[in-house]
Structure 1
């Protein structure tokens, strides 16, 4: 992710993003906060901000379930990997802690299978 100048583009209204404000007290990096824009204003949960110069989408939240499912799926993925190397993805069903999921694998740039996502059944 890269910082986007507010002169170039604004984020979608009312969606939280990270912002940098000009503020001499926090030099040299400015002040980095989570805020959202609405009606030509930048707001945090507590206050209105001025001098916002750049913004960036928030990273996704950690998905602890993703890691648990990935560990289980990676241990059995070779049993389900298709012999047809022209395929770009494959999936199989697994249970983790008694809950049924579909594990989905896709090829990376080098053609290796990598765990991409899961879906609750």
Structure 2
């Protein structure tokens, strides 16, 4: 459950705790209601936090370093842990499991809002990253198969993602299409 004291205007949340396919931006905070730009005002008990994932980090223009296994944007560096991500500053460690926590920490450190910056290339990279993280679950059993696809739900959208086998026998992400 999200409490009023944990959020601020501009945070991204699920306005319906039972439907995690919808995300919305907070536009107003009152004593017993949270107003959203894309959704009606609701009681805090009806709201759920949005899980912080690599898709969200990529959307906020964080870069992933495979060598260091970290996500970074400017001077902000996050380490992936089992429960989410951790921001470290000296001896202080701050766990980040939800998008609004990242938004609030970023604002506290840099006095500016995190803005989603999705262009075509970033969107492609986001879908590829998400697909690559689950692709092993969809590998074809037929060793002669040269391509396969599967559906992927990410950030409230459904995509069909496609993989092709290269000459060395490795599967490579080749494309995707959004399913309405």
Aligning the two structures, in what range does the TM-score lie when normalised by the shorter sequence? 0.3 to 0.5
Q: Which has the higher helix share?
A: 2
Q: Structure 1 length as normaliser, TM-score? A: 0.48
Q: Which has the higher strand share?
A: 1
Larger CA Rg, structure 1 vs 2: 1
| Higher RCO (CA 8 Å, separation ≥ 6 residues) | 1
